[in-house]
A and B are shown apart, each in its own frame.
Chain A
């Protein structure tokens, strides 16, 4: 899915640019911006914590490199890259774990 230009510009006014959750390296923190997934899946993920403004930390990758474990609201949830790439986040500079 392609980011919509207008939205991208509006969100990239600040110092942070948007990136896909799957692109973040282990140990970094980010704030969820939006979910580019079908409504059903998106809502389910939001109820599991991946809602806009939620802070997410990349905890670790599975031994095979995928899925990746994310910490959100104190829960640890693993997502495959194919799902995480549709979650747009604002990376935060420092991520105290």
Chain B
């Protein structure tokens, strides 16, 4: 989905990738600024486009485009660049920004003008970015964002003097309130006319382009323009004294984590279930009109059921996006990363991986999308690769079915903790251990990183706004639907064809039935029969599909027709095979949506392929071991 930007916004990008800049004529404007300067908020203001707004360093990894509708200039395209501290190519973000600014980014027109957003609360440091950006020589407007906050907190700066120092116009704005934006209109209108030499141009940029000289330059300008830094927010300090307290900090952190889960499972699960029955009922209704032909079978039983089996996760996924959004925009996510860093470090990851991995307990899809906050590419990829091991809610149906069918309801400790709960808990633990073991393995092999320190900026606390969190939930939800939806559609069609060819045959006689029988010798050592084999094949779309497939298969078989699914399974499988099946599901990558999202986020098929192969091998080995151990030790 590398073409997401242009299709998302519906903007046809300008004709040639790096068209020579027409003198004085502006068509493309680049939005540049450091992380946490309020750049994304401004982008939303100016374009009216949905885009991630966050209070956490470096979230804008993707490039976003939008027409300047917000100020009535839909003829101009605004490019949102990743938040950067400098044009040094330390990070991938900075490399992208430099390439776009130089017009060297394929598929992106060279910008004709630059809007440089700086956080006026911390102007002294933020000005350091102005030096390299101004030296590009593009028409630039410097926007001092959050100037309302700066002034209420007793800060000040002489913008006229600053404009003279920088040799470009400077304006105070507030992106959250939408004030001062007319300065952008003036700037663009004026710059659209033929270029006039600036009358009071006396820009002196540092000769040596390093951090030290930029800093001296920025400090000099701050002093000459009488910049007075505002008082720092007392709120942030006071809140941190509690939220990062030695005892209260971790305790409150735990409460936040539990609350997220409580909501996702107590509200999200029923929502998902309800949504699922609505989807299926709708499918049945439409099916009646279509009659009982193969069209109905393909559309309703094939495509619709397959797509619905993935759509049911939407309520939970959106809820998780909502939570991550609130945590991120409020500034708490950075604190959570700080608290979790010590634990995550032991497996070679950093604190920023914690919240994504936690989300993966509900669904790996939002978890993988949330790894954008991890700037270090190796850490991010390691997190993406281990996230699907966490016990997501799609594994629960098969876990519950198998446990209910094979594990006696015996108490172990008191009334609460029985044998069934113990097995369930062990499965959760198994996924967790696999994730941590794999992370450790990855970080000490292919994703070994030598010189990537953990640098975490703690932004000031802010009240998350409904607008920005809402925009993000919608944006992420659409990305999920589009990315997962397209692949799932094709996989379900293929699966339907495989299970209906030759025509007028039952599932056991279909192609997939034959494949199921064909792979039986391979899965026999795991304690599985050909029906389980078909179940495994069909659950490539989504894990919970296996329950439905098994229901169909056992329902069609005369030997087990009269039995309930649980009884039929007991009749057909040993305890070893049943436990091997749940262990297989704990490790296997039976989720097309996740594979699609991994492909999108890593921008290569290499990683999802590696992940699929690794997880399948691990699942096979673990299921084999489980079956053999139970066979030899317990059932002797």
Q: Which of A3-11, A13-21, A67-75, A88-96 contacts B (4 or more CB under 8 A)?
A: A67-75
- Residue pair B341, A44 in contact (C-beta under 8 Å): no
At the interface, yes or no: B447 with Cβ under 8 Å from chain A? no
Chain A interface size, as a band, is 20 to 34
At the interface, yes or no: A24 with Cβ under 8 Å from chain B? no
- Residue pair A43, B455 in contact (C-beta under 8 Å): no
- Residue pair A69, B458 in contact (C-beta under 8 Å): yes
With A48-B455, A67-B456, A79-B455 known as contacts, the answer to whether A43 contacts B122 (CB < 8 A) is: no
- Residue pair A80, B457 in contact (C-beta under 8 Å): no
B76-91 vs A, CB cutoff 8 Å, 1 = contact: the mask equals 0000000001101011
Q: Which residues from chain A contact B249 at a C-beta distance below 8 Å?
A: 62-63
With both beta carbons as reference points, the residue of chain A lying nearest to B337 in the complex is identified as A78
- Residue pair A83, B122 in contact (C-beta under 8 Å): no
At the interface, yes or no: B128 with Cβ under 8 Å from chain A? yes
Complex Cα–Cα for A73 and B341 (A): 24
- Residue pair B124, A75 in contact (C-beta under 8 Å): no
Complex Cα–Cα for A43 and B458 (A): 20
Q: From residue B146, how far is it (CB to closest CB) to chain A in Å?
A: 13
- Residue pair B456, A77 in contact (C-beta under 8 Å): yes
- Residue pair B455, A44 in contact (C-beta under 8 Å): yes
Name the residue in B129, B236, B246 with the highest tally of chain A Cβ atoms < 10 Å from its Cβ: B246
Name the residue in B122, B229, B351, B458 with the highest tally of chain A Cβ atoms < 10 Å from its Cβ: B458
Complex Cα–Cα for A44 and B509 (A): 63
Complex Cα–Cα for A46 and B85 (A): 10
- Residue pair B124, A46 in contact (C-beta under 8 Å): no
- Residue pair A44, B451 in contact (C-beta under 8 Å): no
- Residue pair B244, A62 in contact (C-beta under 8 Å): yes
- Residue pair B455, A45 in contact (C-beta under 8 Å): yes
With A43-B88, A47-B211, A74-B122 known as contacts, the answer to whether A79 contacts B338 (CB < 8 A) is: no
With both beta carbons as reference points, the residue of chain A lying nearest to B232 in the complex is identified as A74
At the interface, yes or no: B197 with Cβ under 8 Å from chain A? no
Q: Which residues from chain A contact B121 at a C-beta distance below 8 Å?
A: 74
Q: Which residues from chain B contact A80 at a C-beta distance below 8 Å?
A: 341, 345, 453-454
- Residue pair A83, B455 in contact (C-beta under 8 Å): yes
Q: From residue A16, how far is it (CB to closest CB) to chain B in Å?
A: 20
Q: Select A77's contact among B124, B215, B244, B455, beta carbons within 8 Å.
A: B455
At the interface, yes or no: B377 with Cβ under 8 Å from chain A? no
Q: Which residues from chain A contact B456 at a C-beta distance below 8 Å?
A: 67, 77-79
Q: From residue A37, how far is it (CB to closest CB) to chain B in Å?
A: 8
At the interface, yes or no: B95 with Cβ under 8 Å from chain A? no
- Residue pair B457, A43 in contact (C-beta under 8 Å): no
With A60-B240, A60-B244, A62-B244 known as contacts, the answer to whether A52 contacts B455 (CB < 8 A) is: no
- Residue pair A48, B341 in contact (C-beta under 8 Å): no
Complex Cα–Cα for A45 and B454 (A): 11
- Residue pair B457, A76 in contact (C-beta under 8 Å): yes
- Residue pair B91, A64 in contact (C-beta under 8 Å): no
Q: Select A67's contact among B85, B122, B245, B341, beta carbons within 8 Å.
A: B341
- Residue pair A49, B125 in contact (C-beta under 8 Å): yes
At the interface, yes or no: B570 with Cβ under 8 Å from chain A? no
At the interface, yes or no: B202 with Cβ under 8 Å from chain A? no
Footprint of A on B, CB under 8 Å? Answer: 85-86, 88, 90-91, 121-122, 124-125, 128-129, 210-212, 214-215, 229, 232, 236, 240-241, 244-247, 249-250, 338-339, 341-343, 345, 351, 451-458
Given A41-B453, A73-B125, 11 more pairs with CB closer than 8 A = A40-B88, A44-B85, A47-B85, A47-B128, A62-B249, A62-B338, A62-B341, A63-B339, A74-B229, A80-B454, A83-B455
**29 contacting pairs across A/B (C-beta < 8 A):** A38-B451, A43-B86, A43-B90, A43-B210, A46-B211, A47-B86, A47-B88, A47-B214, A51-B215, A54-B215, A60-B241, A62-B244, A62-B339, A63-B246, A63-B339, A64-B343, A66-B341, A67-B351, A67-B456, A69-B240, A69-B244, A77-B456, A78-B341, A78-B455, A78-B458, A80-B345, A83-B453, A83-B454, A83-B455
